[in-house]
Structure 1
């Protein structure tokens, strides 16, 4: 860092005042003959002048006061032009303010001062650039090695000698690392509150935190996101352990913003790829296109081997201000499993969100499933229905999925029209008699104990009897109406899954309720069944589920 003292070394000049402040940093050297050059200066400059615009003692004193108040590093006064020597009023005013005042003789040109200053400043900037490039490469290696935000925060905290915090766009800490001095909890909370307020006001510019203990040594920078809202996806906040942030610190932090953005992008791409692969595996598993050893190999990258089980959720409808929908349910389920430190495959298929998990004993599985469901409800603010299947060999995971889904649907099939999908009044986690949820008043996970007669279908899945049962009931619909039979089948399934509620089923099918009524009447004509009858609806449901097992 160039100081006034270092700049004057080896120059034929004399210091007239302000010797105590000769170690002030020099940011630049500027030449001006204006009576008040401060509007064109930003502070930290060494100003050079011949004093042509300062003729009276009052003007000279005012000149020094303006320069000192504006934060200049000092004044170099060239004699031999308008003044044979530095005016006494200038010297007295500089001494009063302890402001560095230097007399530059006629035979020492200003360019000698500026060249020396610029050479030193350029060298400093070059050295700063080299250091910053090395830091950038180090941070990029952390991203490429997939060590995560914690490693980036740790490296930055060491580089700046302070605390580094990465907040998400909502002001919640995502990574935090302190160098030597821990950040007080109240200060961390204050920064988070300030970030949330800025998000509310849609402000996305860097700022100095307003906390009184942090302001002199802290900086918050936005990490831009891909969204078009203009709001940052994250914030990078640095707090120096002692002293203010240096120029090097600020350069490093501005570079780190790009590195954090790259890490967040890498995480997003990795999560999206994993989610897509999980969805493909689940779709093939449900469709029966992959099974046995091939399926077991496909599940290994997700940490699933040996025996597996399934947890299936039926997402609540998306409601304004209350959350819901498959995407929110999938994110909440994945987060709940991370909180429980359980690995697995999470994906959405057929309007259900499924998690394939490592195999557990029944009671252990039911307890885990219930804890996961409780976490999902807390995260979503809504209660999805849930079902869990028993542990099976990884190659037979389709059976676990169908058992979990059918346990879920078996519970909701008999729900009275208009009842909410909250699972109350049923449940078998640890009980098996359906009384647990009624007593606790919270949604409970359905299990094979809720399957009832569907266990018979599962036991027949390797027999032609199950296929004959399904074809006898559903065959007239598919064969009697040709291509339109597929539309009738979709309408039948939606009507049954919505428990005979016309409006809900029509919304699921994106059709008018009168269209749905026509289709249901057509199904009744083809099969000779009455869908107003609970018994016939149950048999149709069993046939639909059984067809999934044999297809």
Structure 2
């Protein structure tokens, strides 16, 4: 950061011939400008920080040297330059004494040095400072932009493709901290600190929780500045994946140029995340389209696109893992991001589910990172060739449905199938099916005190053999024949059909025991 010219540095310019008269005064004061005036009170026309030049008329008019110098000191002037060789051959003792008591630096300006020469030196120094600020600001903006680009897109996926990086925000914060010699952090909507530079800066968020909440929850875009001892903390809202707050602090106040750089960092971060979100959305749509093609028309080239973009598919059988559960749709993007950090296989969002196609031995490597999303369930298919991906997806869906019903994090289709047909059907669906199929028999038995349901159960259990079933029921086989004929008429079904018998047996079993849950 450029440092303004000081009185000591001005006096060091030998071409000006300046002499320091009050050596005990503060000569390290920044010198904002040079102004000449012979008024007895020039302070209404001064901002403070100037070196005031006089030939001696002002100090000896009005209130005299004591009052004149006192007004200048109280107004915050950088110093008083007294020109000799014009009205006075040397600086009057009264002026020297007054400056000494007020602590106002006093310089002697020789006759050979025109006041304009001092103005030109200070003007040139200010111009150099401003140019240096422009260069510094431009370099800083380039550094922040380069950091965002380097982190936002990282090179070289397979076959010359690109993959989105995740380090852009951290790189921008590191560059901002370096340029401002400050500490920087971002607090998100959950009061977490996902990024900080240096890392130790994350601890500062707790002490600024109230200010962070005020900035984040403000309906408009507002900036807050907080004094921290001799330093300063600046808080600005920034839009990342959600509302967040950029916090920048250091042990010295920030200049207007510094504040501009902080604002530029906010813009870079917002644009970078907006671009990443757009790229991510396009990538998710491409993944979904490719997976839909693999499921519906395998062998039509989608496999090659997947191989060129995300790496070759497994050589052997694959497994489909379906992630979802009640209300999981909004969390699909977060789950995809998690799986994208090194999890094997191909992942895509389809119909409010995240589907992963992995090698049969890579399932655990997909389930492990997904386990961090505690409210998401997973269903795992049996191994299948790529040509039978649709079947594997159906198995994964059924396993996922069972995981959701049983409130279990993972259910594998192999375990589910081992539990019988009842385990594959939702309890409510099975009960509704049983009630619909057996309804006519149940109503008949209730109204006429019949025994058609029990007779049908025993007859099916004996594989349609009349004598064993009749013996079990304690009736004559002709009575049983009459009951089964009545049941067939009420059901309007052909009881000689194996499919009908299977449906009836499932309905009876469901009514008696209910499916496993």
Aligned to 1:56: 63
Q: Give the one of 315, 322, 326 matched to 1:312.
A: 322
Which of 137, 145, 155 is 1:140 aligned to? 145
Which stretch shifts more, 194-203 or 115-124?
Answer: 194-203
Checking the alignment, whether the CA contact within 8 Å between 1:48 and 1:76 is kept in structure 2 is yes
1:298 is matched with which residue: 305, 312, 317?
A: 305
Q: Secondary structure at the match of 1:26?
A: coil
SS of the residue aligned with 1:375?
coil
- SS for the counterpart of 2:75 is helix
Cα distance in 2 for residues equivalent to 1:299 and 1:187: 45
TM (normalized to structure 2)?
A: 0.63
1:326-475 pair list within 5 angstroms: 326=329, 328-337=330-339, 341-343=342-344, 345-350=346-351, 352-361=352-361, 365=363, 369=367, 374-377=371-374, 383-394=375-386, 396-409=388-401, 411=402, 423-424=406-407, 437=408, 443-445=409-411, 447-451=413-417
Note closer, same or farther for the CA distance 1:109–1:96 as it changes in structure 2 (3 Å cut): same
Partner of 1:470: none
2:68, 2:347 → 1: CA distance? 76
> How far does residue 405 in structure 1 lie from its aligned partner after superposition?
1.0
How far the C-alpha of 1:349 sits from its partner, in A, is: 2.9
Q: In 2, distance between residues paired with 1:106 and 1:170?
A: 69
**What is the TM-score normalised by the length of structure 1?**
0.59
Asked if 1:222 corresponds to 2:239, the answer is: no
Partner of 1:6: 9
Aligned-CA RMSD value = 4.8
Gapped runs of 5+ residues in structure 2? 155-167, 434-491, 494-502, 508-517
Q: Secondary structure at the match of 1:277?
A: helix
Ranges in structure 1 where 5+ consecutive residues have no aligned partner: 317-323, 378-382, 413-420, 425-436, 438-442, 459-494, 501-527, 530-534, 540-551
Asked whether the 8 Å contact 1:51–1:77 carries over to 2, the reply is: no
Query: Aligned pair 1:151/2:171, yes or no?
Result: yes
Determine the C-alpha separation between the residues in 1 that align with 2:49 and 2:360: 68
SS at match of 1:137: helix
Q: Residue by residue, what CA displacement relative to the aligned partner does 1:302-357 show, whole Å, maximum 9, x if unpaired?
A: 356215433324453xxxxxxx462x221342354367x5255554433x312314
In 1, distance between residues paired with 2:234 and 2:252? Answer: 16
- Residue 236 of structure 1 deviates from its aligned partner by 4.1
Residue pair 1:222, 1:235 contacting (<8 A) in 2 also: yes
Equivalent residue, structure 2, for 1:543:
none
For residues 53 and 357 of structure 1, what CA distance do their matches in structure 2 show? 93
Tell me the equivalent position of 1:25: 30
Paired residues of 1:48 and 1:78 also in contact (CA < 8 A): yes
Bigger Rg over Cα: 2
Contact 1:14 1:104 survives alignment (8 Å): yes
Q: Give the distance between the partners of 1:285 and 1:186, measured in 2 at CA.
A: 48
Do the aligned partners of 1:170 and 1:196 also contact (CA within 8 Å) in 2? Answer: no
In 2, the alpha carbon distance for the partners of 1:497 and 1:59 equals 101
Q: Deviations over 1:505-550 (max 9, x none)?
A: xxxxxxxxxxxxxxxxxxxxxxx99xxxxx79x99xxxxxxxxxxx
Instruction: Determine if contact 1:312/1:404 at 8 Å carries over to the other structure.
Output: yes
CA contact (8 A) 1:315 1:329 kept: no
- Are the equivalent residues in 2 in contact too, given 1:275–1:346 (CA < 8 A)? no
Whether contact under 8 Å (1:17, 1:102) holds in the other structure is: yes
CA pair 250-408 structure 1, distance change in 2 beyond 3 A: closer
